[in-house]
Amino acid sequence: MDLITTFFNWPVFRDALPLLLEGLGITVLLGAVSIVAGFVSGLLMALLRLYGFMPLRVLARVYIDVFRSIPLLVLLVLVYYALPFVGVRLSSFAAAATALSMVSCAYTAEIFRAGIEAIPKGQFEAAGAIGLRFFDTMRDVVLPQALRIVTPPLTSNCINVLKDTALASVVAMPDLLKQATQAQALAANPTPLIGAALLYLVLLLPLVRLVGHFEGRHRAATQ
Amino acid sequence: MTALIQIAGLHKSYGAFHALRGIDLEIAQGEVVVVVGPSGSGKSTLIRCINLLEAYQQGEVRVAGERVVRGKALSKVRAEVGMVFQSFNLFPHLSALSNVALGPLRVRGMSRRDAEARARALLDKVGLAEHADKLPGQLSGGQQQRVAIARALAMEPKVLLFDEPTSALDPEMVGEVLAVMQALAHTGVTMVIVTHEMGFARRVADRVIFMEDGVVVEQAPPEAFFGAPREARTQAFLQAILQH
């Protein structure tokens, strides 16, 4: 068997393609749900961590540290295989989305904290001096500026979340990687895995380029 | 009639540094007060205590009879006390117009239309009508500071605090900002101005206050203050400043 028929076998690829695309759809859906949930909860977590009442502030810090330390695969296995022992039985999608969001929340919170802390003190003072309350100060003054600063690291985090969706295959999620390994077993040929790798690249390479573009623009703006 | 701003027994320390050592001061409605003194004398700290941008350890500040303290009432007091900063502190992501309209929109609860109409009128008043849609980064320092004055005015405050408003400006832009400030004086709004512009103080102030080492050393109307200062420390300061 030569290299082409082993790794780039067209008939095998053609047969596997519908499965792969189905998997890609689930990967994108899982990634999107986790990114959105992680974004919203991460922003709230950052605000709690910076401005919450004392016990909440400590809790937020503990949460962020713990979920940045725990390996995602371990968390995923815990959520899917351990929680049923206390009666919490999540579907593989729900388990994967929960684990991904919880970790993304922690990273997003750290990114937002850094962005908010980079806003000069004078901005908070000017907002306070015209009588803006906390919520308006955040919405109108601080967060729009912070969001510009953190767009590159936030996009990087989105890439990480999308890549980490592949771990969901461990809890029987029919995502892109799982579909590929199944198709590979069925055809006794690794071409579907190559196809999956290519689909991941098609999905993620533009995002990686986008981060580079944001960073270039940010450099130009700060010079 | 009671004073609009009442400061009593004010003490403020930064760690071991005692920045304000017992300030007692009353400022009347409509009065224009200029605070002068060497750097580190506590004059900026003093006016930052009036709207509680600086917390203090002892004493109290009242604006229109209301104690200025942390909590729910603070933004209400601050809405009545406008402030103009040395480094402008405009919101860099908002146009000049939006910078000025933000307070009326969010704090006064005006409609966007009314808030922007007021902002346009104020930008016109400070001579910047044609720059309304520019971002702060596209304006000169003098123009930015005039937008900042319009932003403070948009709240129709009882008091305007100026914290060295011309110190960060190139010399050729100082005049345009001082002209705007001079036009505001004696229009009813109370002004407390920290500045090194002695000519401005002489022309515009009702009262000049000299601070050094965290205390008020001397205060007098400008003619008396510049013409016949009583305290030796005031004389030394004025001599050092007016010599060059």
Shortest Cα–Cα distance, B91 to chain A (Å): 7
Residues B155, A133: C-beta atoms closer than 8 Å: no
Q: Is B187 on the interface with A (CB under 8 A)?
A: no
Helical H segments across chain A, by residue range: 3-7, 10-51, 54-69, 72-77, 92-117, 121-129, 134-136, 143-164, 176-187, 191-222
Residues A129, B82: C-beta atoms closer than 8 Å: yes
Residues B75, A140: C-beta atoms closer than 8 Å: no
Q: What is the pLDDT of residue A3?
A: 84
Q: Residue A140 corresponds to which tokens in the numbers above?
A: 């109108």
Q: What is the pLDDT of residue B1?
A: 57
Give which of B214, B101, B110, B203 is closest to B147, Cα–Cα. B101
The model's pLDDT over A9-60, given as tens digits with 9 standing for 90+, comes to 888 888 889 989 999 999 999 999 999 999 999 999 999 999 999 999 999 9
Q: What is the pLDDT of residue B244?
A: 62
CB burial of residue B16 (10 Å; 0-12, 13-18, 19+): exposed
Residues B103, A133: C-beta atoms closer than 8 Å: no
At residue A4 the predicted structure's pLDDT band, cuts being 50, 70 and 90, is: confident
- Shortest CB distance from A130 goes to which of B76, B93, B151? B151
* Amino acid at position A139, single letter: R
At residue A223 the predicted structure's pLDDT band, cuts being 50, 70 and 90, is: low
CA nearest to A146 within chain B: B93
Judged against a pLDDT cut of 80, whether residue A221 lies above it is answered with: no
CA nearest to B98 within chain A: A140
CA nearest to B153 within chain A: A130
Q: What is the pLDDT of residue B120?
A: 97
Q: What is the pLDDT of residue A7?
A: 85
CA angle A22, A23, A28 (to 5 degrees): 100
Q: What is the mean pLDDT of each run of 10 residues along chain B (244 residues)?
A: 89 92 95 94 95 94 92 89 96 97 95 97 96 96 96 96 95 94 93 95 95 95 94 93 74
Residues in chain B with CB shorter than 8 Å from the CB of A130 are: 78-79, 82, 102-103, 107, 151-152, 154-155
Judged against a pLDDT cut of 80, whether residue A219 lies above it is answered with: no
Who wins on pLDDT, A2 or B85?
B85
Residues B151, A148: C-beta atoms closer than 8 Å: no
Q: What is the pLDDT of residue A217?
A: 80
- Shortest CB distance from B155 goes to which of A125, A126, A131? A131
The model's pLDDT over A58-99, given as tens digits with 9 standing for 90+, comes to 999 999 999 999 999 999 999 999 999 999 899 999 999 999
B222 neighbors B201 (Cβ within 8 angstroms): yes
Residues in chain B with CB shorter than 8 Å from the CB of A125 are: 53, 83, 85, 89
Q: What is the pLDDT of residue B121?
A: 97
Residues A125, B89: C-beta atoms closer than 8 Å: yes
At residue A222 the predicted structure's pLDDT band, cuts being 50, 70 and 90, is: low
Percent of chain A scored above 70 by pLDDT? Answer: 98
DSSP B188: S
Q: Residue A15 corresponds to which tokens in the numbers above?
A: 């047969």
Span A121-140, average pLDDT: 95
ipTM: 0.93
Q: What is the pLDDT of residue B153?
A: 96
- Shortest CB distance from A131 goes to which of B89, B93, B103? B103
Element of type H or E holding A134: helix A134-136
- Shortest CB distance from A140 goes to which of B87, B89, B106? B106
Residues in chain B with CB shorter than 8 Å from the CB of A137 are: none
Shortest Cα–Cα distance, A123 to chain B (Å): 6
A vs B: CB pairs below 8 A: 68
Residues B53, A136: C-beta atoms closer than 8 Å: no
Helical H segments across B21-162, by residue range: 43-50, 74-79, 96-106, 112-125, 141-153
